[in-house]
A and B are shown apart, each in its own frame.
Chain A
């Protein structure tokens, strides 16, 4: 996919989120910055517990009450060129923004539908909250359901329990586009479904993207899926974006040791590499994160400085950014491994 690199729809600046938990403050997202362009698909990868969901809920301000968000701003650019900082929205402005500018397909979509109302009522509810009439909503919904390859009339009449998991997932995708948002956030949309459903959801998503040209933030810990769908990939570790760049850069010329480890641990992408290496240990406790580079305890490249000073985020060619002291060694190894793997 190509996208317009001069047209930023969402500019996230130094965003941090902490949860107030009983054991202390959880730093679930720290100093996150990135730009999302019109028509761009950004994949967020990283192990479970790295803060991907937290970051995205912060972007639509739907975090639980125990969360505190801070930062320099989340600047949204409307279609007419107007700009606004989402963090400064009143509740009413936020409600208007939600879904009509930025919608979300939540993780665990199977329970995302109210079990006691029909799909059509879910559609009307959504439309009504944003001042769109029933007829218009109905028309749009029929068209979208067709685009996600469902039987529109039948699905509109159905209750959630009458639909299979894959069908529900596609209903959610259709409803997420009902108000024609510029941004759709999708949190692990292919995780809980079988491989065929996953295939069809990806195909549908690609096609819709062609036709409607929205931007996507796509969370996945399935790297093969991310590789297929993304323009840009961002690796998150312990609440930070440690590497971000065009998909081929990040996957074939990785500059952060964590991204490289993730790739070596991914069955379908590391095919050809001698061994499948899982990453030792697990992501750190975010109440008391490690000093220096948060990955140093698990990193095969780590040297002394890694545990003392956090590595700065450095920009390399083609807007490829990474924060790693051993970026050259990582890059060299990445190129060797991927050369074997690539066709």
Chain B
């Protein structure tokens, strides 16, 4: 059973050999799980990037056209005047062949350069990303953390005490919440609590932080960041928690029917141990993949909520970039989103393997 079979003589010799040759080493690397996963991740990133590169250029209008339209409307210019003004504003040539644009993009990217924004003259795409990404990471990351952990706990309790008043009440609430899109929830909150009940001042919750407070690691500044994030976080949580609750409940219900739960009860285990170690952990497994996608999408922010509260996140910048057909900025943000999604999925595989020994992946050599 556990006895290690005696190595045949030649195998022993191979083991005893000195350092493996370069060829052997390479083969070991290419066969390893991590290598294969990383390779397929890189291919995915390349494919998605290329696809979005082409796709965003198929949208009607280009940055110059859009700017010309805007100038003609807002500044009462003639088409010629606007065209001249726009051409000097942007360093972008709409007539350059797409294939050359594509090679430009990659040669810049391989040097680590995401290029300059087309519509915001003199601003590099990477500086936009670096400036706004932290806000999004904080706001949406916190929201996801709250939404997922709360949703899991509520769903678990509902499944465990199925048919109780708590279960019935929460099923109704969760079903309604999961059916409402985020902008409706946002509008409802603003109208009901901001306008009708005046629990908060609508004007004072726009932005990411009170601009009159000096930036720094002060209690006041951090407090202001948190207070400005409250509304976006609340709306994000409300708009996503329903789905977590309902999936965790149904997963809990199917786990409850498993034989090993009945056996655990018969062994006299405490309710708490059964609930957490036996039901909770098993019921959570099917949700991890979906969590990974949500984690990856954290960087894309929440376009509508950020726009609604003028929150200085990446989502709002993506929105602005799309509206102005700022190709380079869009490319940069999409690239960051793609990388995040791909890597959080790879990470999720390891988390699932850690939580569920049945799918545990063996790094390096094939599993026995």
- Using CB atoms and an 8 Å cutoff, list the residues of chain A in contact with chain B: 60, 62, 95-100, 103-104, 106, 108, 111-117, 125-126, 129-130, 151, 153-154, 159, 161, 175
Contact = CB atoms under 8 A, between A and B. Distances in A.
Interface stretch (B211-219, B328-336, B353-361): B353-361
B258 interface: yes
A129 B265 CA distance: 11
Given A108-B259, A111-B259, A115-B356, 15 more contacts: A97-B268, A98-B267, A98-B268, A103-B266, A104-B263, A104-B266, A106-B259, A106-B262, A113-B260, A114-B260, A117-B277, A126-B267, A126-B268, A151-B2, A161-B357
B260 A129 contact: no
Q: Secondary structure of the B side of the interface?
A: helix
A343 B355 CA distance: 57
B268 A159 contact: no
B178 interface: no
A116 B259 contact: no
A191 to B, nearest CB: 14
Given A106-B266, A116-B281, A129 B273 contact: yes
B358 A115 contact: yes
Contacts of A130: 268
Nearest to B259: A111
> Most chain-A Cβ atoms within 10 A of its Cβ — which of B266, B270, B273?
B266
Interface string B288-305: 000000000000000000
Given A115-B358, A125-B273, A99 B260 contact: no
Given A98-B268, A100-B268, A106 B1 contact: no
Closest 4 A-B residue pairs measured CB to CB?
A98-B268, A111-B259, A154-B2, A159-B357
Contacts of A161: 357-358
A95 B270 CA distance: 8
B356 A116 contact: yes
A115 B352 CA distance: 13
A36 B189 CA distance: 66
Contacts of A104: 263, 266
Contacts of A151: 1-2
Contact of B260 (A60, A111, A154): A111
A206 B355 CA distance: 38
Contacts of A129: 267-270, 273
B282 A125 contact: no
Given A108-B259, A116-B282, A125 B356 contact: no
A258 B200 CA distance: 78
Contacts of B258: 111
A116 B352 CA distance: 11
A133 to B, nearest CB: 16
Residue of B264, B273, B281 contacting most chain A CB atoms (<10 Å): B264
B138 interface: no
B278 interface: yes
B272 to A, nearest CB: 10
A98 B267 CA distance: 6
A216 B201 CA distance: 72
A60 B282 contact: no
A11 B258 CA distance: 31
Given A106-B263, A159-B357, A161-B358, A114 B278 contact: yes
A129 to B, nearest CB: 5
A62 B355 contact: no
Interface in B167-198: none
Contacts of A62: 262, 265-266
Nearest to B282: A116
B359 to A, nearest CB: 10
A274 B358 CA distance: 51
Contacts of B277: 114, 117, 125
B266 A99 contact: yes
Given A114-B260, A116-B355, A129-B273, A99 B268 contact: yes
Contacts of B2: 151, 153-154
A112 B358 contact: no
Given A62-B262, A106-B262, A126 B357 contact: no
B282 A114 contact: yes
Nearest to A101: B268
Nearest to B368: A162
A5 B358 CA distance: 48
11 contacts: A95-B270, A99-B266, A106-B263, A106-B266, A111-B260, A112-B259, A114-B260, A115-B358, A116-B285, A125-B267, A151-B1
A176 to B, nearest CB: 9
A161 B282 CA distance: 15
B119 to A, nearest CB: 52
A95 B273 CA distance: 13
A130 B268 CA distance: 8
B278 to A, nearest CB: 6
Interface string B233-270: 00000000000000000000000001110111111111
Contacts of A112: 259-260, 263
A111 B282 CA distance: 13
A99 B357 CA distance: 27
Interface string B317-354: 00000000000000000000000000000000000000
A114 B264 contact: yes
